[in-house]
Amino acid sequence: MTASGPLVVVGDVLLDVDLAGAARRLAPDGPAPVVEDVEERVRPGGAGLAALLAARDGREVVLVTPLAPDAAARRLRSLLGSEVPVLALPYDGGETPVKTRLIADGRSIARVDQGSRVGQVGPLPAAVRDVLRTASAVLVADYGRAATAEPSLRAALRTAGSRVPLVWDPHPRGSAPVPGARLVTPNLAEVGRLAAEVEVPGPADGLAAVESRAAELCRRWQARAVVVTLGRRGALLSFGAGTPLVVPAERVAAIDTCGAGDRFAATAAGLLADGALPSEAVAGAVRASSAFVADGGAGAFGTDSVRGGAANAAANGKGRLAGSASDVVARTRAAGGTVVATGGCFDLLHAGHVATLEAARRLGDCLVVCLNSDASVRRLKGPDRPIVSAPDRARVLAALEHVDAVAIFEGDTPAALLERLRPDLWAKGGDYIDAALPEAELMAQWGGQAVILPYLAGRSTTAMVRAALSKNVESTEGAQV
């Protein structure tokens, strides 16, 4: 099932600032490093980062947050831009928190926090109630301030959670998740503080201890599941009883893990919106957050790049460009490379598909696959298709060596997606000789080119389905007495 409404992100926003440079000497007046050649990097933090990450996955996102009338909030709105619409909660007397890290040679050596005054959140506006009623999933990013304590908002979140997946990323100083959350996502340190009174077997960071505390929190919060993120060890998923699921993480070299929790929660919420099981959502989120920190974490984040999207979680770790479609395009362009795109339903992947994808990737420096959604496939192929759901088709494609990113589109054609990505080449396999590709005119608008690739004759998903049905009929008839 493909999500039909927006992913609504609710929570506290922060303004994150990195002052990054090189440290080659100590200050003459004290044993402190002198950081030179400083570059300022500014990004949304907290719920703002989670929302922007989800938007870069190609999802429709709405951010609900209290915003103070100050310069930091205005800068946050500018950073979120048109990608993340903001519905502001009434907020009286508060400040926008600003967290500034001083980074020397890739490592954080100091942090200065400003904007500690927390205001009062007012009653829920009608526009927020409306967007929660239309959400495909809700992600609460609680950063221990005022957003999640307001009674009318909590009531609306509980109602939304009874209808669609609700993912709650908690904070020890924040509010308890509302009952009925599909998934609550504390990290190991947070679980230790939230359930410090729970007696645990063995070492405090052992899996037996983590499961004991996670199960207790699951019961206490009346959550359907609690997943504890364990850093480089992966994640443990507890349903409050029975044997927990542990998803190991890939080994990655990482210095800066800032933002990994937001990447994890945003991916899990998006996958649940697509109809994934909690176990599938956690596995995809582990892969995505591992890729995110391998690429530098939030410190490497810019308003035009971010890595580790939900649809591409299976592809991360291939050692190439795996990430969201926008990210792959941005990085390829920044390196002066050629962006290639192709598209189709890719229902029951076969040798003809693989040959086309291999040929398309050889035309440039990255390949983005534009994938028809389930509804789009039904309109094009009939009510019995697709056989394989869009999330599964995307996952299989993203795992292929020659595919750098997958982006799902809802229309009958990928025109809107192509206009956003603006690839240099649009490649299609098939018998289009002497006929213009439908996308050729659109590509020409930005100087792109549509091309036709050789294809393997006789390979067809429709033919495969017919052959399978025919064999099934023959087997059934042969079994009759």
| Positions marked catalytic | 262
The DSSP element (H or E) to which 227 belongs, if any, is strand 226-229
Complete edge-to-edge strand list for the sheet that includes strand 449-453: 405-409, 366-372, 339-344, 425-429, 449-453
Cβ neighbours for 252, distance < 8 A, ≥ 6 positions apart: 232, 290, 291, 293, 294, 317
DSSP 176: P
Separation CA 191–CA 198 (nearest Å): 10
Separation CA 316–CA 289 (nearest Å): 9
Handedness of CA 8, 13, 18, 19 (dihedral sign): positive
For the chain, the residue count is 481
Separation CA 480–CA 40 (nearest Å): 75
The distance of Cα 367 from the centroid of its chain, to the nearest Å, equals 19
Rounded to the nearest 5 percent, the helix, strand and coil shares of the chain are 35, 25, 40
Sequence-distant contacts of 32-38: CB under 8 A, at least 24 apart = 33/104, 33/109, 35/102, 35/103, 35/104, 35/109
User: Which amino acid, residue 35?
Assistant: V
* Cβ–Cβ < 8 Å for 44, 61: no
Q: Which is nearest to 222 in space by CA: 248, 203, 240, 207?
A: 240
* Cβ–Cβ < 8 Å for 299, 258: yes
Separation CA 399–CA 310 (nearest Å): 13
Separation CA 184–CA 140 (nearest Å): 9
Q: Residue 336 class from Cβ within 10 Å (0-12 exposed, 13-18 middle, 19+ buried)?
A: exposed
